[in-house]
A and B are shown apart, each in its own frame.
Chain A
Amino acid sequence: MSEKALSELSAGPGMTTRTDNAKPVVTGGKKREGIRVGRALPPVVAFILFIGGWELFCELADMKPYLLPAPSDIVRAATENASNLWVSVYTTISEAVLGFLLSIVLGVGLAIVLASSKLVERSVYPYAIIMQTIPIVAVAPIIVIWFGAGMNAIVIIAFLIGFFPMLSNTLIGLNSTDHNMKNLFYLYNASPIQTMFRLRLPAALPYIVAGLKISCTLAVIGAIVGEYIAGIGGGKGGLGYAITVAASRLHTAYLFACGLSASLLGIAFFLLVNAFSKWMLSSWHESEMNSSEG
């Protein structure tokens, strides 16, 4: 399952292939176990070969560690600075999670407002799209000017980057409610608010969940970009800040360790959100139920 979730991470949500389900049912646990090992083996072998080759290359070519640190150097840098690294990871997690939560609340909230009135949607949504096209690195300095360097600005940058996918996904979901269902609510004299919260919002759940999956990885990226621009030191800087410091000191091994931590953080965050969405949808969404097997 996690392998599939990872492929989804790169392909984007909604693009999962159904190869697992298309295969004939394998009888006997042993055979299935064998297939699983067989599938995990190639990437593991490739990983070992790659790391080993890298280590060997650094050894033989006598690479300077500040140009290309060997894997062992990276591991050493990470363990020697474990407490600093952990503080950075923790800071980045908190910023990303806060920004992510903000983007959910405001993204879904604004989508509900826009979906409630075609007029409001037509007048506001185009500007939301235009806002989205402004690069975050151009917006970030303005945020710093308004909110000052530090946590606040970083959370807002993380929020901004995840906000639009939430908004647009939820809006599409709210606007694609089944026509017959809408008629049913209309015929039973449901108020627009009843229709919104009893029908349109629950029906939009698969779309909202797709938005969550996009926004959660973006929020991590947003937090790190924010730290680049608005990061503050004092032993509490996040991964982005630690990366800039490590780069300026040519502490390349630690820079690698920070980059890898950021990547692991993003993956962990995605898997968490992915598991949460599966659990949330499992109560009713059939296709999601089927694709979580295997």
Chain B
Amino acid sequence: MEATASTKEWVRMERLSKVYPNGTVAVQDVNLSIREGEFLCFVGPSGCGKSTIFKMITGLSGPTGGSLEVMGTSPKQARKQSDTAFVFQDHTLLPWSSVIDNVALPLAIRGVSRRERKEEAERALELVGLKDYAKAMPRQLSGGMKMRASIARALVSRPKLLLMDEPFGALDEITRQTLQLELLDIWNRNKEMTVLFVTHNVFEAVFLSTRIVVMTPRPGKVAAMIDVPVPFPRDESFRTTPEFGQIVRSVSDALKH
């Protein structure tokens, strides 16, 4: 992905490092620039520091070395502007609130009016195909539907930067593939949204992303950056093309180093 003059730089890492107090080097000297409209996957085995990078971008933990800018400012400041949204492996839906109330939560916290909250939440639910389940309680939903609701909650605030930490990690393979397609479809309709996606699944990374950051552990650093120059929209048939196989192989090779 060549940067053109018009694309904005949403995330900028320079020699970014994180050393935990016990001496573990979780992330070492990562240089990375993420531009608007990218769908970027961090892929690597557990302990490679991909989740640590994710935490630093959200501002949940601070770097111990190097610099990190999100949307031109510090991670915490970026979060305050409410242009970022989050999806975790755990759906983290409030069990005592209905689906629509859960989806509207980020807006409720921000003090958005009830009417606007309802409109935006319904729009987000429609995006993920859960319109008919607005009044349902989370426990009535299947695992895949819970994750859809969780994604709707992230989309409700119309984020510019969507951060996803292994969102489909707990789902079965069939549901996982359906949700991958749906996520690409949502992203395809709003290309201004930049997605950072953490996964340990190589196939998932290749299917979804425009660019893959391959990470290796001990110490966690970037082993390779691999572009996926396949145009969108992509559909199921992409999974069986020779091109797909080639990129999977080069990612897998990079992981072995």
Contact = CB atoms under 8 A, between A and B. Distances in A.
Interface in A147-203: 178, 180-181, 183-190, 194, 198-199, 202
Interface in A280-294: 283-286
B86 interface: yes
B86 A187 contact: yes
A189 B88 contact: no
Contacts of B232: none
- Residue from the set B84, B94, B106, B139 with the largest chain A CB neighbour count within 10 Å: B94
B121 to A, nearest CB: 14
Say what secondary structure dominates the interface of chain A.
Answer: helix
Contacts of B60: 183, 186-187
Interface in B20-79: 58-60, 79
Nearest to B157: A188
Interface residues of B, number: 21
B54 to A, nearest CB: 11
Contact of B92 (A181, A189, A202, A284): A181
B109 interface: yes
Interface residues of A, number: 20
Contacts of B88: 180, 183-184
Contacts of A185: 109
B79 A189 contact: yes
A190 B109 contact: yes
A6 B108 CA distance: 42
B196 to A, nearest CB: 14
Given A185-B109, A190-B109, A284 B58 contact: no
Contacts of B105: 188, 198
Given A189-B110, A284-B139, A286-B139, A184 B92 contact: yes
A19 B62 CA distance: 49
B62 to A, nearest CB: 14
B95 to A, nearest CB: 5
Interface string B100-130: 0000011011100000000000000000000
A202 B90 CA distance: 19
A283 B96 contact: yes
Contacts of B109: 185, 188-190, 194, 198
A199 B58 contact: no
A199 B90 contact: no
B257 interface: no
A284 B96 contact: yes
A178 B106 contact: no
A146 B107 CA distance: 51
B82 A178 contact: no
Contact of A202 (B80, B84, B86, B96): B96
Contacts of B96: 202, 205, 283-285
B137 interface: yes
Given A188-B109, A189-B110, A194-B109, A181 B94 contact: yes
A189 B80 contact: yes
B107 to A, nearest CB: 9
Contacts of B139: 284, 286
Given A184-B86, A202-B94, A285-B95, 18 more contacts: A178-B92, A180-B90, A181-B94, A183-B60, A184-B88, A187-B84, A187-B86, A188-B86, A188-B106, A188-B110, A189-B80, A190-B109, A194-B109, A198-B108, A205-B96, A283-B96, A284-B96, A285-B96
Interface of B: 58-60, 79-80, 82, 84, 86, 88, 90, 92, 94-96, 105-106, 108-110, 137, 139
